[in-house]
Structure 1
Amino acid sequence: MRTPAKIVCLFVFLFIATVFCTAFQKGRPAAKSVFPYKQAGLNIRQAAAHLLSRFTYGATPGQIDEVVTMGLENWFNKQLEGNLPDEGLQGRLRSYDAIQLSNTEVLSKYPPGFVVLQMALKDSVISKDSVGKAVDKKAYNEQIQAYMASKGLKSDQELYKQFISQHILRAAYTNNQLQEVMSDFWFNHFNVSFTKGECAQFIPAYERDVIRPNALGKFDQLLIASAKSPAMLYFLDNFTSQGAAVPASQPAMGMMMASESPQKTKPVNMAAVPPKNVPGLNENYAREVMELHTLGVDGGYTQSDVTQAARVLTGWTIYPISSSGYGSAMKGLVAKIGENNLAAEGFVHEGDFLFTPNRHDKGEKVVLGKRFEANGGYEEGVALLEMLAHHPAAANFISRKLAVRFVSDNPPASMIRKMAKTFTSADGDIRQVLRTMVNSPEFWDAKALRQKTKSPFELAISSVRAVNADIQQPYQLFTWISRMGQRIYYYQAPTGFPDKGQYWINTGSLLSRMNFGLALSSGRIPGVVVNLAALNPQKGTETAGKALVSYSKVMIPERNLDMAYQQLIPLLQVPVPAAKMNNEAGKTTAVSQPVSNKFSGMDAVSGAEELNEKKKEVVPVVNNNMLAQVVGIIIGSPEFQRR
């Protein structure tokens, strides 16, 4: 749907104005409570709304009542436990059979394209000359498809589609919202990407078996599990890293004495640093595990530390989980030694992980002042990761990232210090760090309210939750999320998506967000069914202005929306013709879903009605398209864009 230029310009202006000119309520300090929201002048319903905006993907209609009834602290503790029943979600996930497969099963059923070609060539289904050079490409592709069907093979793209779809369903429907939010946070922190083919097929198991189970646990356990995952080993190339032929007695070069403090590291004499192009040594993971996963870019490490850490982590690779393609590299080695003899020979086999002592650098190393004696093995890699996970710089770095995610783009240093202190004293227990954060007055401060801008994924999921949408084809939402600027699981850099509002918002993205809101509210996203009339309990209203007020209260609860009404009501006077409303917004599909939104009317409420009375303007609700426009404008509004 093409949105009128007047609306786009108004929305750009309103969003910027909302970011910089928001007026917050101020109140007197009240009696002490477990969560200090009263000190910020919030009542219990406003506090519940704030909790839901931070620790879920958005409140569903009536959920604030549930949280207030349960008690804010009790609700938060239940979310920290992360074990609420999820029968409804599990029912929606039953058709996604691929998401429960092991890595071995994935490689067997969804092999990479080059493996399929190798198999087809071996079975003489195609000729070597036809690969990439077929004259009749359609016939060639049909031949490959028929061969795959005969072998019971499926395209890896179907695997990715199932995985993305289940992620959207989990975010929209799980009762354990905090666990899902934290799973998303940690996946982004330990980012891997479908764009790197070597790791792509291992990503579903990576999220399922590494990220989600550890999302609310101990940080060191999550760090080590990610380091040993095939997805991470391939993504950052550590699966190939092996030590040079260095005599065990030779000391590490360019190292500092163990007695020196890491914070006092002196500039490295680069002449003493082992060359970066040592055959077999790959520093990619060692660098990122310090810069992105634990210490941060200002964590006090040097290039020498990176090189030494890479040497410590040599020999960490993939157990042969496939007979061909990715995951098969160690097949010959394991066969030569014998699976039953691995442990006796110093190999470590845990699930899909394999430590190979014959590829490990046996020399002495020093990282951040910690000396690793010569002739070490797998255990020194674990010791290195434990040291990084418990480093003071890691406590501060992880605490700050959590505060940015849950509080504001520029969180107060005072709160970060408290969180970092808990991180250290609680042995990296993420639950305890989150408790410290939510019990801090800074979390509830007016400066933190509505200060986060929703990412495209957060906007899409919060929208479907706000209107109680029935998602029957979740991949349709992925198409919209990608169009709005966030192609989940395809971010190439190991940094993950930036968690700052300025990254997401520009004129083009606001236009896409508004088009999404109108497409969702008008039922023009195939497989996503909405019933707008069921959302609104009020009766008796016949104007679009009054509908705007009533639906805003349902979709953006417990906020002072007087200014928002004044900004948005003029937009209802910008006509969106029925033909445009019925046109597939964004040109996504050819199939439309009916909208059960018979307009039942609402009671008169202050705000919009008063404004219309003063202006003597009454905007009639003439059809379902107008109601869809009302809800679409709410979704696209600056107020809904913030959490």
Structure 2
Amino acid sequence: MKNAPKFGCVVLMACCLFFLMSFLTRPVPVKMYKFPYKHAGLTERQAAEHLLDRFTYGSTPGQVDSVLAIGLEKWFDQQLSASLPDDSLNKRLSAYDAINLSNTDVCKIYPPGFVVRTLAIKDSAISKDSVDKAVDKKAFNAQIQAYMNKKGFKPDQELYKQFIDQHILRAAYTHNQLQEVLTNFWFNHFNVSFYKGECAQFIPAYEREVIRPNALGKFDQMLLASAKSPAMLYYLDNFISVGPPPPTLPKAAHKPAAANNPDMMMGGNTVAKTTTPDMMMNGGNIQQTKPNTGGDMMMMGGSPTPSAAKPVKTLTQPGKNVNGLNENYAREVMELHTLGVDGGYTQQDVTQAARVLTGWTVYPISENAYGAAMKGLVARIGEKNLAAKGYVHEGDFLFTPNRHDQGEKVVLGHTFAASTNPADGYQQGIDLLEMLAHHPSTAKFISRKLAVRFVSDNPPQSLINKMAKSFTDHDGDIRQVLITMVTSREFWDKKALLVKTKSPFELTISAVRALNADIKDPYPLFNWMTKMGEKAYYYQAPTGFPDRGTYWINTGSLLSRMDFSLALTSGQIAGVKVNLNTFNNQPSENPQDAIKLYSRLLLPEVNADATTTQLLPLLNNPALIAKVNSAGNQAARQPAPPAEKPTAGAPGDMALMSAIVENKAQTPPPTPPKPVYAMANNKGNNMHALIAGIIIGSPEFQRR
């Protein structure tokens, strides 16, 4: 009995240790949860299909059964962890050698066209007078191509094509579907565009390093990473935003300051010696695209309070090639990235936030292309001395204190004190972004956007409130917000089933997945998406593509969607192999049997009898039959439309990125047709291709 207390202590310690280890060895859960789909009157099978509709790009054959075998909640946990192996996808992606290049390597290997021309002139490979004026365009292009070959340069369009291809392959084949769906969602939220040449080269790394790794993480980390990305810094012009020069100091005190900041011109702007006139830069920077106008947009200097300050003109005035305060990013970070248009901020807040973020720019990524602007400054100060002088260098981001507004600012009632300490300038920017990320308006705005994406175009306010509370309670943890959404009864309401219209990208990928298509060349699919109205990565406005059905559906788009569906199922899209015999080893000649077969395959939880009644009359439609027999082959033999080239500079400055001068007097030779997987792959059974195509083009398949 004397040993009983000791024995009890040992048992208690063992239990505590076991309890502690159970937490350390379980990578995921936050808390256990169950989906309340039964309260909505859904079967487990219907619930599995609903999960696949909303959190993947569409189910593959037999995937509903797989989810049921795993368990609905466990399947969702796996998607939240985004750690499923993707060996087959990685094998496909291994053919793309540019998608993992750093921004520095991209600038070296894929320099934009104007840079190639500038370097070719510098090296006497071409004459400056021949640019855009060459009589013999073919000979000029040959000179440029020879120069690029000599230098090891590749056309930047090849980089963009590889990036688009990998986007399609990831969506079609990754097992971590939710991560890819959210990568697309967040890229659209923090939109940048290939149309703006300054940021185009940096978009592959932007998605790879900023968006995808943070898609299921903390919102503030993604916001901060996007703010520091060269793609965003160039897209919304914050890389040129500078504050006013510090107030003139007494002569004795001014000398040390000048010694510490030898590069201060125009509010600390530095002219890089390597910058050339052809780069259309002032001090190495592109002229801002949205000049500030109006009293509300004037900088408030370093006055103690905005209300008492006398407005002074911003350094950047309309029509003048000088640098100054640029409000583009400050406006969009509030309106589109965080608070929302009704988030409670004013124009004064925008101006003050822009002042806080002055000095946030791009480290010299390349000697020749964008990112060279700060080269002279870094060289003069010395890489080893940057931190000591208050500069912050993280990857391709650089904070330059000599370009930062040192005066007091007030944003949303929060005061950022005036300071001449270089370290304070950078921290103010961090504090501002954190404040915006954790603002109650941001919680509501982000929650609503997620609910629109995953529930309906008009989600219930009760659901948005729950998600916003979860956003706030869990420090902006996207996983927790999604758990709150998917465990709510509103998510499982029958009214929310099949109410979201698929975008052209979603339609294309869901059709490919439903048919187990083998994508040999993704780019023809991109051309089809573009024809249907969604040119991925090319949306010009910072809003990103609208996420509502009315934007995607009109008479023209419906016809294009049907054309795509029939071309796909009849094997007439170049580079995409579809074999309907995989699902039907003994093709039935009975149309009703065939319709039921493909209804079960493509519309798992839709009444097959109703589908049969609707589709039977269409099987005798001459126009649809003609499309299956010939239209797809005809389209596949046409050369792919040339990718539109990004433009550099402000609106109206349409300098093309391509180094090659287009020869409009000559017609380019037709592109050789790529392999077309025609009806031979389907044992010549046009009826089955027609049925599958009509189902994919039907309203039922177009919804998720």
CA distance 1:632–1:276, shift in 2 (3 Å): farther
Match in the other structure for 1:201: 201
1:548 is displaced (CA, Å) by 1.5
CA distance 1:423–1:582, change in 2 (3 Å): closer
The structure 2 residue matched to 1:525, chosen from 555, 559, 573, is 573
Check the 8 A contact 2:244/2:315 in 1, yes or no: no
Match in the other structure for 1:363: 407
Letter in structure 1 aligned against 2:598: Y
C-alpha contact (below 8 Å) 1:530/1:595 kept by paired residues: no
The 10-residue stretch of structure 1 (162-171 or 118-127) with the greater mean CA deviation from structure 2: 118-127
**Is contact 1:276–1:307 with CA below 8 Å preserved after alignment?**
no
Choose 60-69 or 132-141, whichever is displaced more.
132-141
Contact 1:254 1:274 in 2 (8 A): no
Assess if the C-alpha contact under 8 Å between 2:339 and 2:441 holds in 1: yes
Alignment check: 8 A CA contact 1:581 1:625 kept: no
Alignment of 1:422-433 (within 5 A): 422-433=470-481
Alignment equivalent of 1:469, drawn from 510, 517, 528? 517
TM-score by length of structure 2 reads: 0.79
1:634 aligns with 2:695: yes
How well do the aligned residues superpose, as a CA RMSD in angstroms? 1.8
Taking the aligned partners of 2:573 and 2:603, their CA distance within structure 1 comes to 22
CA distance in structure 1 between the partners assigned to 2:603 and 2:432 by the alignment: 47
What is the match of residue 515 of structure 1?
A: 563
Q: Is the 8 A contact 1:412 1:442 kept in 2?
A: yes
**How many angstroms does 1:587 deviate by?**
6.2
Determine whether 1:282 maps to 2:332.
no
Quick one: distance in 2 between partners of 1:371 and 1:251? 12
One-letter code aligned to 2:499: Q
Q: Structure 1 residues 492 and 88 mapped into 2: Cα distance closer, same or farther (>3 Å)?
A: same
Q: Does the 8 A contact of 1:46 with 1:559 survive in 2?
A: no
Distance (whole Å) between structure 2 residues aligned to residue 514 and residue 252 of structure 1: 63
**Matches of 1:65 and 1:274, distance apart in 2:** 67
Give the deviation of 1:499 after TM superposition: 0.2
Deviations 1:243-293 (A, max 9, x none): 0135499435535xxxxxxxxxxxxx9x96665665610000000000000
Q: Contact conserved, 1:519 with 1:584, CA < 8 A, in 2?
A: no
Give 1:285-296 correspondences, 5 Å limit.
285-296=329-340
Corresponding residue for residue 448 of structure 1 = 496
Structure 1 runs not aligned, ≥5 long: 1-31, 256-268, 600-622
Q: Which secondary structure does the structure 2 equivalent of 1:450 belong to? A: coil
CA positional deviation for 1:147: 1.0
Q: 3-state SS of the aligned residue for 2:84?
A: coil
**Separation in 2 of the partners of 1:588 and 1:460?**
20
Match of 2:634 in 1: 584
Question: What is the alpha-carbon distance in structure 2 between the residues aligned to residue 169 and residue 595 of structure 1?
Answer: 24
Match of 1:68 in 2: 68
Using a 3 Å threshold, how does the CA distance of structure 1 residues 274 and 506 change in structure 2: closer, same or farther?
A: farther
Moved more, 132-141 or 543-552: 543-552
**Partner residue in 2 for 1:593:** 677
CA contact (8 A) 1:564 1:639 kept: no
| CA shift digits 1:177-234 (9 cap, x unpaired) | 0000000000000000000000000000000000000000000000000000000000
1:550-565 to 2 correspondence within 5 Å?
A: 550-565=597-612
- Counterparts of 2:143 and 2:351 in 1: how far apart (Å)? 48
Give secondary structure in 1 for the equivalent of 2:533. coil
Alignment of 1:13-28 (within 5 A): none
CA shift for structure 1 position 118: 1.0
Shift in alpha-carbon separation, 1:563–1:274, aligned structure 2, 3 A: farther
Is the Cα–Cα contact under 8 Å of residues 302 and 406 in structure 2 kept in the other structure? no
Q: CA deviation at 1:580?
A: 2.5
Shift of residue 593, structure 1, vs aligned partner: 1.9
Contact 1:536/1:554 (<8 A) preserved = no
The answer as to whether partners of 1:237 and 1:284 remain within 8 angstroms in 2 is: yes
C-alpha offsets along residues 10-63 of structure 1, whole Å, 9 cap, x if unaligned? xxxxxxxxxxxxxxxxxxxxxx98101111111111100000000000000000
User: CA offset at residue 329 of structure 1?
Assistant: 0.3
SS in 1 for 2:495: coil
Residues in 2 aligned to 1:132 and 1:563: alpha-carbon distance in whole angstroms = 62
User: Is residue 448 of structure 2 the alignment partner of residue 396 of structure 1?
Assistant: no
Identify the residue that residue 222 of structure 1 maps to in structure 2: 222
Deviation string 1:598-624 (CA, Å, 9 cap, x unpaired) is: 46xxxxxxxxxxxxxxxxxxxxxxx42
The answer on whether the counterparts of 1:211 and 1:222 sit within 8 Å (CA) in structure 2 is: yes
Aligned-pair CA distance for 1:469: 0.3
Q: 2:485 aligns with which of 437, 443, 449?
A: 437
Counterpart among 328, 331, 340 of residue 375 in structure 2: 331
Amino acid at match of 1:299: G
Structure 2 residue 396 is matched with structure 1 residue 348: no
Residue 303 of structure 2 corresponds to: 251
CA drift at 1:625 = 1.8
Cα separation, 2, equivalents of 1:61 and 1:75: 17
Aligned to 2:357: 313
Query: 397-406 vs 322-331, which deviates more?
Result: 322-331
Is the CA contact (8 Å cut-off) linking 1:253 and 1:273 kept in structure 2? no
Partner of 2:89: 89
Determine what percentage of the aligned residue pairs are the same residue: 68
CA contact (8 A) 1:253 1:274 kept: no
* 3-state SS, counterpart of residue 185 of structure 1: helix
Q: Which amino acid aligns with 2:117?
A: L
2:152 pairs with 1:149:
no
Task: Give distance in 2, aligned partners of 1:76 and 1:350.
Answer: 35
Report whether the alignment pairs 1:478 with 2:522: no
Residue 167 of structure 1: aligned partner: 167
Distance of 1:83 and 1:642 partners within structure 2: 28
Q: After TM superposition, give the deviation of residue 86 of structure 1 in Å.
A: 0.3
For 1:166 and 1:135, locate their aligned partners in 2 and report how far apart those are by CA, in whole Å. Answer: 39
Say if 1:548 and 1:630, in contact at 8 Å, map to a contact too. yes
Q: Aligned to 1:625, which of 661, 673, 686?
A: 686
Kindly state the Cα deviation for residue 627 of structure 1 after the two structures are TM-superposed.
1.5
The one-letter amino acid paired with 2:699 is P
Amino acid paired to 1:627: H
The alignment partner of 2:98 has SS state of helix
The whole-number CA distance in structure 2 between the counterparts of 1:418 and 1:192 is: 30
Counterpart-to-counterpart distance in 1, 2:484 and 2:130: 62
TM-score scaled to structure 1, two decimals? 0.87
Pair 540,228 (structure 1): closer, same or farther in 2 beyond 3 Å: closer
Which consecutive unaligned segments of at least 5 residues does structure 2 have?
1-31, 249-300, 317-322, 640-672
Task: State the AA in 2 paired with 1:637.
Answer: S
* One-letter amino acid of the structure 1 residue matched with residue 505 of structure 2: F
Aligned length: 574
Specify the code of the residue in structure 2 equivalent to 1:296. G
Provide the residue aligned with 1:545 in structure 2.
Answer: 592
For 2:37 and 2:476, locate their aligned partners in 1 and report how far apart those are by CA, in whole Å: 26
SS at match of 1:411: coil
**Conserved 8 A contact 2:339-2:436:** yes
Per-residue CA distance 1:354-382 (angstroms, 9 max, x = gap):
00000000001010011001113100000
Give the 5 Å matches for 1:130-145.
130-145=130-145
Preserved contact between residue 317 and residue 356 of structure 1 (Cα < 8 Å): yes
Which shows bigger deviation, 449-458 or 528-537? 528-537
Kindly provide the amino acid, as one letter, of the partner of residue 378 in structure 2. Answer: V
Shift in alpha-carbon separation, 1:518–1:107, aligned structure 2, 3 A: same
Q: For 2:342, give the aligned amino acid.
A: D
Work out the CA distance in 1 between the residues paired with 2:612 and 2:247: 74
